[in-house]
Chains A and B, each alone.
Chain A
Amino acid sequence: AQKVTQAQTEISVVEKEDVTLDCVYETRDTTYYLFWYKQPPSGELVFLIRRNSFDEQNEISGRYSWNFQKSTSSFNFTITASQVVDSAVYFCALSEASSGSARQLTFGSGTQLTVLP
């Protein structure tokens, strides 16, 4: 069975600090997909990134970067030079290829990030 663990329930940082959000996953599939979503106070879910299990290249997008390590089953997310607008709940999610045509996501419990001015 698939499982996603986000051990950090809440993180507070001061603006301009770097912050890393941890995500550890469990799956028996060799083919799977990992996602990060942002949920600001307004409630909508904003897609940030998708990574498949065969692509371990780290990715950088502006102030955001992701570190995927299959050896430790982790897919961590780093925000560089954080800003107040980054304050949100961040969810890591997993989708297994064996789920067939129903490509549902299993979400972690989320990490509430607060960036203080």
Chain B
Amino acid sequence: QVQLAQSGAEVKKPGASVRVSCKASGYTFSSYEINWVRQTTGQGLEWMGWMNPHSGNTGYAQKFQGRVSMTRNTSITTAYMEVSSLRSDDTAVYYCARSLGSPAWFDIWGQGTLVIVAS
């Protein structure tokens, strides 16, 4: 079946970086965009950006530009998101989500990856 499987929870110190992976299966990886959405208690659901797995093109929300990078490895149908210069308010559950085009709806979501930023 179509699914996105994310890497496990992470605990990081302020100022560090974190990379979350998202492995796609059950569909043609290059045919759908991968988006990243995070969920915090205070800010709710926040869209962070998208990546086209075929071209590698990306687009980031202004809030995260310069601090987030989205990449992929098509040979293993896996997308990655890296966030640098982590702060305590980056503590959140990070989701990858599939879309057809962008901006668009998100029809398939990963299970989420909890990232805790604490000293």
The yes or no verdict on A and B being binding partners is: no
Q: Which residues of B contact A (CB under 8 A)?
A: none
